[in-house]
Structure 1
């Protein structure tokens, strides 16, 4: 076994991204995008357009990916991701990620993947009885995403915790088998935003989301329809904030006043309509600057393409470096390693 200790990051490196299956929404903003905007000024940051992973659930609709790559890139720029500070890249254009996925899959058991709670939950949610290889191996692919640039920090939602734990196990196993080349990542868990239906987290596929490009009227309409306390029939009935989707939004978008809202709801001194109006106003404060930045970029498709090409080239450089170290650690650098001399 090669015991050479290869170069490790001198500071934290951030890797995060989204599957390109459509527009991003407020759940993405609360769970991860907001953190990315802050972290890009503190650490080296890679943000991935995960088009390959989008195929795990949309392999029969590749046209959606082609439409969504630029759409999600536009969402990134709209929320404040700065290509001067963050590397935005396209997953499928980094072949080293696929190579790492293949290598890791050789020593990851099917049992460990089947027992991943996030994989199990999504499979049940989508009604999958017989799992596709790519869907089951999603955590392996995600580990390759994280490790190609030796990322140490991964901003993500709490549902990603099992994936990051699996990534850490894969990294440890590789380092034990070959050499201490890879770095164990840590997750930075963002807040969780309930969907408008109150049944689960906000999700594109469940149709319970407010997209980041929603108009003011769309936001008002969607919030008006959002689920509240089903036991509250009249405005003066005492409410139960803990079961109300809108109260959860107060806790995220109006933290400073959430305690007051909770008390007034329990006392029956504020109605659901007024409560929803306050949340709508707070969400508009978040979305208005996003809309303004979107308008600046909306027709600059060539500029967006240039940003993606430049970011992808930068990510590819990091990927080649890591892949070279991985091959050296495994002793499969046939024509460049010591055995080639």
Structure 2
């Protein structure tokens, strides 16, 4: 099996806000210390809906990369790159399109949803229909086995798994596979070979997932096996030949709890955002003028924190002691709304101060961001090229 690897991307749609930070970037910053991570700017994906305004994508890309760095994404820990700079994405997308049924694309849940939400745009394009397959290629090109997503994105990962499985079924064959696999079994040693065959039978005849897990562990523990023999044993175990493309697993992430300034979801379209690296005076003004419990018309009116957008910010930014102070003070009218907002404001300003400090070198010297991306693209390209060599060979496209 291939080493664990995480891949995730984000469309460059403009400045990022606290919803992006608490929903995605904070998780990325944690994952980069737990797994090898690749994070990419999905600029080709942005073209599927903004094909008529491509000029906005470039500027948004560089701004977003600085926001990533400001949020704590470390180029020494993770690989940062731009999708369109690694052309192998497009090649794998093209080759996968040859075997992907049209019905698979049409049934992706977000396809019809986006058509309805963006009804003012003409999205009856090949690119928009095929974006889930491009997304699958983004994952499969790096043999990434872990994809951090929220529940709404699980169908995309499942679609990717289906595409990988179909590709492996068509092209994961080699001449004399059965004979080569049986020779690989012998290399496990007589005792382990017998156990492997018993577990294989239990899995294939009875669907015993525990037997499958035990057999995989048995293969992993066999240090003397070559990569080719290891792959043959996995394929022989699961009923097909070789894993060429890795079926990714969902790394489920919690939904963002970050509300907007008005209590709705934080979104640029609602005008209720606090941006990353925003000016302190602007943040202060926004927080101090936030909506509160409509029942508190006067300072002396008691309120209910559960009906106040500010309380949602407290849940993210303040501790249990402050929570108790808010609950008691608001319900008894002992504290006013401006007092209630102050701990939240201080916490946001402190969080933003650290982000601005991390971003400053890149803002002052944009070439530093270009260098990070150039290095990241080179690293990503090497991984992508290795996958494409195997894909071309499996499909008979090497012509050597």
TM-score for both structures, normalised by structure 2? 0.73
* Equivalent of 2:282 in 195, 218, 239: 218
Counterpart residue number, 2:366 = 301
Counterpart residue number, 1:33 = 25
Counterpart secondary structure, 2:364: coil
Which one has the largest radius of gyration?
2
CA distance in 1, matches of 2:296, 2:103: 46
Answering whether residue 39 of structure 2 is matched by residue 47 of structure 1, we say yes
Answering whether residue 217 of structure 2 is matched by residue 153 of structure 1, we say no
CA distance in 2, matches of 1:104, 1:132: 21
Counterpart residue number, 1:19 = 11
CA distance in 2, matches of 1:67, 1:127: 26
Does the aligned pair in 2 maintain the 1:32–1:190 contact within 8 Å? no
CA distance in 1, matches of 2:268, 2:166: 35
Q: CA deviation at 1:111?
A: 4.4
* Equivalent of 1:168 in 127, 144, 161: 161
Q: CA deviation at 1:186?
A: 1.6
Alignment of 1:101-250 (within 5 A): 101-128=93-120, 131-133=123-125, 134-179=127-172, 180-181=243-244, 182-192=246-256, 193-200=258-265, 202-235=266-299, 236-239=301-304, 241=306, 243-250=307-314
Q: CA deviation at 1:199?
A: 3.1
Aligned residues: 325
In structure 1, the gaps of 5 or more residues are 1-7, 337-341
CA spacing shift, 1:223–1:113, aligned 2, 3 Å: farther
* Equivalent of 1:75 in 67, 79, 93: 67
Does the aligned pair in 2 maintain the 1:153–1:188 contact within 8 Å? no
Answering whether residue 243 of structure 2 is matched by residue 251 of structure 1, we say no
CA distance in 1, matches of 2:17, 2:124: 27
* Equivalent of 2:380 in 310, 315, 318: 315
Counterpart residue number, 1:5 = none
Does the aligned pair in 1 maintain the 2:305–2:311 contact within 8 Å? no
Q: Quick check: 57-66 or 204-213, which moved more?
A: 204-213
CA distance in 1, matches of 2:113, 2:309: 22
Q: CA deviation at 1:33?
A: 0.9
CA distance in 2, matches of 1:161, 1:233: 44
Does the aligned pair in 2 maintain the 1:226–1:246 contact within 8 Å? yes
Q: CA deviation at 1:269?
A: 4.9
CA spacing shift, 1:267–1:308, aligned 2, 3 Å: same
Question: Cα RMSD (Å) of the superposition?
Answer: 2.6
What does the per-residue CA deviation read over 1:249-288, in whole Å, with 9 as the maximum and x for residues that have no partner?
Answer: 2222225457524565455554433333222222122111
Q: Quick check: 175-184 or 61-70, which moved more?
A: 175-184
TM-score for both structures, normalised by structure 1? 0.84
Q: CA deviation at 1:9?
A: 1.9
CA distance in 1, matches of 2:29, 2:117: 31
Does the aligned pair in 1 maintain the 2:293–2:303 contact within 8 Å? no
Counterpart secondary structure, 1:186: strand
Does the aligned pair in 1 maintain the 2:157–2:248 contact within 8 Å? no
CA spacing shift, 1:230–1:155, aligned 2, 3 Å: farther
In structure 2, the gaps of 5 or more residues are 173-242
Q: CA deviation at 1:122?
A: 3.7
Q: CA deviation at 1:152?
A: 2.1
Q: Quick check: 14-23 or 100-109, which moved more?
A: 100-109
CA distance in 2, matches of 1:40, 1:284: 25
Does the aligned pair in 2 maintain the 1:161–1:187 contact within 8 Å? no
Counterpart secondary structure, 1:55: helix
